[in-house]
Every structure is written in structure tokens, then in C-alpha cells.
Structure 1
């Protein structure tokens, strides 16, 4: 065992317990991500400078959308986990599909649930799907960051075995006696802090004026971050490694890179609405 191996700081997975009612850190991560994302989204909508004029969605519409996207995250995340990661088990135990308190959520499924929520809400309210997608993904890294921290607190989704060159390796209580990469923290940094920072800088430089640019960037950058994290993360035991040492997380991220790149190219080629308006006004 490496000399500088760090002992995992054991946390109680229950954050708050009042009698028979127990609120877990994982639930608080979801709640915190949604609330903080909502606050940040409202701030983006209020800033006309970022949009080059009034935002394409109003604050009351954003308030209504929160319920839609929350349902999309939960339903999509659970459905994705069932289909992508543990389908044989849930076929034999279908009632456990609804036992969300036992864990088991998929980002890729949750993202598809968000996409469905964005498309349905935008069409119902006459809003640009791409612009609503931009707002949604701009705040997404907040929830990803908190979710990965919750994974760490719960001592789940830990990393692969590490050698003596990794002084911050940890022995997880349910991960065997050997030190492992704290891959949850790697992912929190990449999918949360780095992704949020990149998107925030892009927004400051006018990315919201090109509908779909933030959405495409989020999809592509997240996919690269997830694939990088998968090199350090232990694959789910029921799946293990797939073809050529790939993991399910890697395979599901590849289409995201392609989709994100397409959205970025299309958004970049499209003339920003403000510039288009000025061009039309200048035409005699």
C-alpha cells in the first residue's frame, strides 16, 4: 500500500434524519442542483446584454419549466439506468424500478429526459428549443458537480486501483483493501467546475446570441470530460469492461461528441439575431 494513501473520510449517507424521515445527501444534491440552477438561469434571463436584447424566455416561463425539467431528469435518469446498466436485473425485479431511494441513476438517461422536457415545453410555449436548451445546459454543471460530490460522500462509483505514484489514492470502505482513484472528485472537477467555467466564459463573450452554441458545447465538452473520467473510474460490476476495454459511459458519450460538434457548427454559421436585424435595417 502506498505510504501516502489517504483513508476515506467515512460520511453518513443520511444528511438529515427527523424520526422516520431521512433525507440523503444524494437527494440534497439533486435539490441543490435544481434550486441553484434555477437561480442562475433567472440571472441569465434578466441580463439583456448577454442575449443582445430581451431573452427568448420570460422569468414566469422559466419558473414553470423547472417542474418539467425536474421530472425529465428523474424519469430519464432512472430509465437510462434501467436500460443501459442493469436491464436483466430489473426484468426479474420490475417493482424495484420505482425504488429510487436505493440509488441508480444515469446521466445519459437524465440528459435525454431533459432534452424531451425542453422540446415539449418549448413547443407548447412557442419558445426557441435551442435557446431554452442553452439556458438548461448552462446551469447543468452545477447539478453535475453536486451529484459527483454526493457519489463521493456515499462511497460509490469509486475509481480503479491506483499505484504508489498517486499519493491521494484512497481506500474506500466498500472498494476492497487496495487504494483507488477518487474518481468522483475527478469527475466533479471536470464535469462541474471546468465545464461550468468554460460555458460561463463563452456566455460572457456572447455565446447566447447564437442559439445552440452553449447546448452543443455542453454536450461535446461533457462527453470528453466523461470519457476522461472513465479511464480512472471502476466500471459498474454488472457490466465490467466492454469491447477493447471500453466502458458503457464511454460508449454512450461518443454520440454526444458528434451531436455536440454538429450543433456548434450550425450555431456558429448562423447569423446572430441582433446582427441579422441590423443588416435588415441597413438594407434600402
Structure 2
């Protein structure tokens, strides 16, 4: 059985300022967005749309606001409403962790719509451009959760080679943040990056991201201790799975719509 390293959540201090690993993981996420974005604008079908380095830098500012505001508000309203209403100042303590991907996803959609309107770029092209840049940033966030020993997994078989002794939990559990970093993050990145290297119908890349993330998150949620569960017709699903189901459906519809629309266009 592995033992969680349980590192100090504070990476270093600068006088009265404490820099947390969780915050550094977000900096890693934003840095990889810039680096991968600059690789992506060199792809011929992306360059033909007029993307520039300045677009990426400007878009990142909007994206950061969408991730942080949407992610935190999603955590408050989707997962911990009663707690945060009782401790309202904790809403601002983002360095302690607690960011909802689904909330951040909604926040980024709104932020990108505002940015696209500002630069007069087609919103679907913006979504398609950023979709392959998101999963590795998500993986970095899950590493931040792991460092903070957040999101412990469900009880794991003691003979599972990677079962982990989690801080504060007496029994071995699945290291669910690592699962989600690898499956929802790295694996999803590889699939999307390879798919998006060629020109695809407008919204196909963005739709594929939505559908695949929903599927990946639904699967990895089986190994994570749920924030809460919902039961209907004898079926029990976690909060994360409940929020992922609309993504699976919407993503599949978007991809189908994108290809049908392209096939209907006159040659």
C-alpha cells in the first residue's frame, strides 16, 4: 500500500506572503495554455483563421477570470452551499482548494463569449481553439487537489498495488485525484490534440471535448468519495456524475450537429 506524502500545502513564503502549491498548479495550468496555444496557432487550419500570439495573451485574462469566478461559485452552489452560507468569508479562501470544474467550465464559456464579441471572432472557432488546451490545465488542478489531500477516493482493496493510505482515513483508498488527472486530463488531452490537428467541422472539437470530459468524469467518479449522491429509480449517482450527464448528451448532439451541417453545405 502506498502512503500519501502529505506535503506542506505552502510551497514557500515571501515575508508575510505564503505561496500555496494549489495556487502554483493554477499558474502551471495558465502557462501550459499559453505554450500549447502558441503551438496550435502554427497549425495551418488555425493560422488560416487569423489567430495570433496577442489573441492568446488577451484571451487568457478573460479565461482566468472565468475559471476562478466560475470555479469558485460552482463549488459554492453545486457542492457546499449550506457550508459557505454559514461561513461566507470562506468563499474567498481559494488557496485552500475547492474549485468546481463544472462551474469553471460555465465561467469560461461566458468569458470566451465576451472575448469573442470584443475581437469580433466567431464564438464557435474560439471554443474549438481552446478545447484541446483545457485538459492539461485540469490535470494540474487535480495535482493541486492531491497535494492538499482533497477529494479522497472510495475504499480500495488492500491488495491493490496503488491503494493509498490517505491522511485522516484509516482504510486504504483509491487516489482519485491522480485517476482524474490521468484520465480526465492527460488521456483527454492526447485524444483531443490528435483530433484537432486537422481541420474539423465548426464546433466538432469543442463538442468532442464536452462529450469526452463528461464520459471520463462519469467513469472516474466511481473511484472518488462523492460530495453527495442522488438516487432515482434504484440508481444512485454522485453529484459529479449528475453534472456530467448533461455534458455527455450536449457534447454528442453538438458533434452530430457539426458534421450534419458540414455535410449539408454545397460542395
Q: Same fold per TM (> 0.5)?
A: yes
Contact 2:158 2:172 in 1 (8 A): no
Match for 2:93 among 85, 99, 104?
99
> How far apart are the structure 1 equivalents of 2:147 and 2:93?
20
| Stretch of structure 1 that moved more, 33-42 or 65-74 | 33-42
Contact 1:46 1:55 in 2 (8 A): no
Aligned residues: 263
The correspondence of residues 1-284 of structure 1 with structure 2, limited to 5 A, is: 5-48=1-44, 50-51=45-46, 54-174=48-168, 176-204=169-197, 206=198, 208-236=199-227, 240-243=228-231, 244-271=235-262, 279=267
> How far apart are the structure 2 equivalents of 1:86 and 1:39?
34
Contact 1:45 1:55 in 2 (8 A): no
> How far apart are the structure 2 equivalents of 1:213 and 1:41?
18
| Stretch of structure 1 that moved more, 95-104 or 221-230 | 95-104
Q: Deviations over 1:49-79 (max 9, x none)?
A: x44x612433322221110010000000011
Contact 2:97 2:148 in 1 (8 A): no
Structure 1: any 5+ residue segments left out of the alignment? 280-284
The secondary structure found in structure 2 opposite 1:37 is helix
Q: Deviations over 1:107-128 (max 9, x none)?
A: 0000000000111111221111
Q: Once superposed, what is the RMSD of the aligned Cα atoms? A: 1.7
Contact 1:56 1:128 in 2 (8 A): no
- 1:181 Cα deviation from its structure 2 partner: 0.4
> How far apart are the structure 2 equivalents of 1:192 and 1:118?
21
Q: Give me the TM-score of the superposition, normalised by structure 2.
A: 0.93
- 1:94 Cα deviation from its structure 2 partner: 2.3
- 1:132 Cα deviation from its structure 2 partner: 0.6
> How far apart are the structure 2 equivalents of 1:100 and 1:186?
23
Structure 2: any 5+ residue segments left out of the alignment? none
> How far apart are the structure 2 equivalents of 1:186 and 1:96?
28
> How far apart are the structure 1 equivalents of 2:179 and 2:86?
34
- Structure 1 or 2, whichever has the larger Rg, is 1
